[in-house]
A and B are shown apart, each in its own frame.
Chain A
Amino acid sequence: MSMNNVGRPTRPETANDAATGHETLTGGRGLLQDEALIFELDGWNKTGVDLPEAAAPSDDLAGLLRSGPIGLPGLSEPEAVRHYVRLSQKNHAIDLALYPLGSCTMKHNPRLNEKMARLPGFSDIHPLQPQSTVQGALQLMDRLAHWLKTLTGMPAVALTPKAGAHGEMCGMLAIRAAHEANGQGHRKTVLAPTSAHGTNPATAAFVGYTVVEIAQTEDGRVDMADLESKLGDHVAAIMVTNPNTCGLFERDVVEIARLTHAAGAYFYCDGANFNAIVGRVRPGDLGVDAMHINLHKTFSTPHGGGGPGAGPVVLSEALAPFAPTPWLVHGHDGFALVEHAGEEGAETAFGRMSAFHGQMGMYVRAYAYMLSHGADGLRQVAEDAVLNANYIKARLKDVMSPAFPDGPCMHEALFDDSWLEGTGVTTLDFAKAMIDEGFHPMTMYFPLVVHGAMLIEPTETESKQELDRFIEALRLLAGAAKTGDTERFKGAPFHAPLRRLDETLAARKPRLRWKPVAAAPLAAE
């Protein structure tokens, strides 16, 4: 044994078997801290802010004041910092490693964007202060709109939707308004492929439309014969994702648009995958009437553990007059907002998507990203995203089964689970084993058209070294699955902050908040 001069060992002793699988006395695990809920830290009288004392409320409010306690715990500042830092360490993040969620586009989030969004001139302005005092903000919105219109080749954009699904709602409401204005209000059917995102049928149903599914061909595209047979005077719109959710470009997209328009319907394109073609292909050239753009996907605004997003919608000439308020105009004194449907210039606006002007904080980040990349960089973004996905597909095709082996994919590579047949390992098991290897799993069981789907989207911000590391991990796991090492998968994850969670129990006995009287611990059934 090596010792320093005070007798402290400086080399680890040979591990003995008793040490493996060793349970700690407190349940703590090194850097990973077990952290109680804020409600369990006995902070009922604590606060982490210093505010001046206030006088008792005025008599006007007699009878309107709270009587009992609210039931909110407080934390001093050091306790709060520690609580949230401890929790943060239980999260995977794109800053930590590849996050290959197909269709979700987890790419690097530049910190310059965060810095810009925090300039007081953007972060500390009120949506309803005089427009003369926010000309820079309005100009930024105008420039963002210009970039979005130019990149998509579309004449108009509604900036305000707050996320992709909200953008879908906006686009479909514009379509509905256009039909009603043109005496076509009887059109109540929306066609969407079976592979569509769940938001598409959900949105169409909310707008009052009935969804009819379009079949898919063997090679993962819209079945043109089926589409043609289902189009007609009752169809209001088609909703097609392009590149689609199988990671493939709809080869017949121009014909899809032509047929749709010939039937008197509009073409709504789900733009979730715009990052695959940005700067290289303009949806306007494909015949699209409306398309939302997830700024948190293509334009790198952070996902934040589930939002906020932003979902501006580009619109064709036919739909532009129906866009919701507010929108920007160039007035004689600079920029101005048209704020209310029905007022001059907004006679045909279909309404309003939310209280204010949309997600300014996301506009600033997206615009900083656009300026950084420029026209040339954005084209390279699409090309590298597609290159990375095809590289993964090429290097895994001999050990896993690509759902559509022929021809290139776009920004994401789709595999099915046929290669796992007979191994006893499911797509879910495989995904959980990836967690042990340090990677976030890919999107699983989506799209629904592929059995046991595994949808891998690396994005353009992964280096070849990181891709190779990921590929090597998946090849090793595939080998383990095929050689009968099933325990590695069935029990996975072993090395995450928690083991596999009981989702059935959570849904059967919903416990959705902390309650003052401690309930008995939940036990697995």
Chain B
Amino acid sequence: MRYLPLTPEDRVEMLGAIGVKSIDDLFIDVPASAQRSGTVDLPPHAGEIEVEREMAGLARRNRAAGEGPFFCGAGAYRHHVPATVDHIIQRSEFLTSYTPYQPEIAQGTLQVLFEFQSQVAALTGMEVANASLYDGSTGAAEAVMMAQRVTRRNKAVMSGGVHPHYVETIETLAHAAGVMTQAMAPAIDAEDAVIAAIDADTACVVVQTPNVFGTVTDVTKIAEAAQAAGALLIVVTTEAVSYGLLKSPGEMGADIAVAEGQSIGNGLNFGGPYVGLFACKEKFVRQMPGRLCGETVDADGRRGFVLTLSTREQHIRRDKATSNICTNSGLCALAFSIHMSLLGETGLRQLAALNHQKALALRDALKAVPGVEILTPRFFNEFAIKLPKDAAEVVETLAGHGVIAGVPFSRLDAGAGLDDVLLVAATETTLDIDITFFAKILTKAVAQ
């Protein structure tokens, strides 16, 4: 077996050095009833050739986004990732290192995390950012629980624009932590409706912009209303590229900004691994979840970086920790940071503008399709359309013609009564012919 360096002779010699006769002597503490003599009922080992053959067979049965017209978004976006990103993240020193607990021999990872935190803080317009969480949805749940700690209140109000899967994730994790949630019914353009639900028990208000229907909202008034009532405003963003064009959460008064960072540096990967961006006002830093990297000096006075404020964390505080998170999304954060460094402010703004332009072209093409109505009033790179038919059925029909048309809203929330709503997204990878072909096939599909 190619991954196991010990030879049979090594094993005999080592057993001798230990002073036992056989490997079984090292498993004597396992109860006899649980000792298995043979192997479990699974196939035997395989060489690279066989493994590649099997994996390729499975991969071939999936329609990759890059194969043709593709318009899915709803929290995961297909962007072009420069070749440099994947090359760097496969360097042994980044790929095969552990959490930087020994800072003297982990400055590579630590400096990247410091740069990542600085980039995320700049993008979100917030004062501090952590070294990443698992993804946007778990980050949103962590933000709600953080608001509970900061305000010592137990109610979270969520707008009807928050991604339904984020709502479910928040409900699952926050309910466990004793937070009551009030989720508004899905609404295309009503982030402001949360204001009426804020009361003296409200720990936080969760809004999303661009929201799950793509609608862009200035949430400044919501921030003011929340803060006037002693609650925090959490602004969720599922498309991080939008930061290049739109007002940042910080500019609009957010207390905590949470985002899915997948769009930058990371592929679709069928939903994971992704990278959660998490930023907040500096005064809340000691209630933050997750790892933080900070600047310091070494014994010779040279600048260096370490994991810090770890008294918040589970390995020190155990049952009093701010979160149970341990492993985060280090390598995805690295990919994010490299891509962001390559883009720079110039590239990010250009990329964002290009995304918006492609989405406008898509809107114009779909608006011309008889029976199709554009629902989202103002958007970044994604919007909702109303079809004269069940959206899931239309998507299935179009898939048969090689077009992955988008995400039916019913896939996110089957009970919302929005079965005719389709979410469509365009990015810089969308070609003009993709848009033309989509409109053409959609015209036929809705006419049938």
Contact = CB atoms under 8 A, between A and B. Distances in A.
A391 B121 CA distance: 48
Interface stretch (A4-12, A104-112, A480-488): A104-112
B318 to A, nearest CB: 4
Contacts of A478: none
Contact of B88 (A84, A151, A514): A84
Given A307-B329, A513-B128, A126 B76 contact: yes
B196 interface: no
B216 interface: yes
B327 A47 contact: no
B39 interface: yes
A374 B96 CA distance: 23
Nearest to A337: B411
Interface string A439-467: 01100001000000000000011111010
Contact of B330 (A306, A394, A466, A512): A306
Contact of A133 (B311, B357, B399): B399
Interface stretch (A14-22, A165-173, A312-320): A165-173
Interface in A144-201: 147, 150-151, 162-166, 168-169, 173, 176, 197-199, 201
B152 interface: no
B118 interface: yes
A71 B124 CA distance: 11
B26 A408 contact: yes
Interface string A91-129: 111111001010010101110101110111111111111
Contacts of B98: 99, 101, 104, 106, 303, 305-306, 440
Nearest to B99: A306
B93 A510 contact: no
A123 B327 contact: no
A13 interface: no
A164 B326 contact: yes
A116 B59 CA distance: 9
A32 B155 CA distance: 52
A502 B296 contact: yes
A254 interface: yes
- A interface residue count range (under 10 / 10 to 19 / 20 to 34 / 35 or more): 35 or more
Contacts of B20: 390, 408
A162 B112 contact: no
Nearest to B130: A512
A163 B61 CA distance: 27
Contact of A308 (B15, B330, B347): B330
B26 A390 contact: yes
A253 B10 contact: no
A132 B399 contact: yes
B178 interface: yes
Contact of A441 (B43, B102, B260): B102
B103 to A, nearest CB: 5
Contact of A43 (B131, B137, B243, B344): B344
A122 B72 contact: no
Interface in A58-82: 58, 60-61, 63-67, 69-75, 77, 80-81
B448 interface: no
Contacts of A119: 55-56, 59
Contacts, number: 731
Given A359-B273, A371-B51, A96 B298 contact: no
Given A351-B171, A375-B44, A503-B296, 6 more contacts: A91-B108, A109-B95, A376-B45, A377-B45, A378-B40, A391-B17
Contacts of A91: 93-94, 97, 105-109
A66 B52 contact: no
Interface in B166-181: 166, 168-169, 171-173, 175-178
B328 A64 contact: no
B348 interface: yes
A201 B117 CA distance: 28
Contacts of A390: 14, 18, 20, 26
A39 interface: yes
A303 B97 contact: yes
B417 interface: no
A140 B104 contact: no
Interface in B28-83: 28-31, 33-36, 39-48, 50-52, 54-67, 70, 72, 74-76, 78, 82
B95 A304 contact: yes
A408 B25 contact: yes
B354 interface: yes
Interface in A221-236: none
Given A57-B353, A354-B138, A501 B44 contact: no
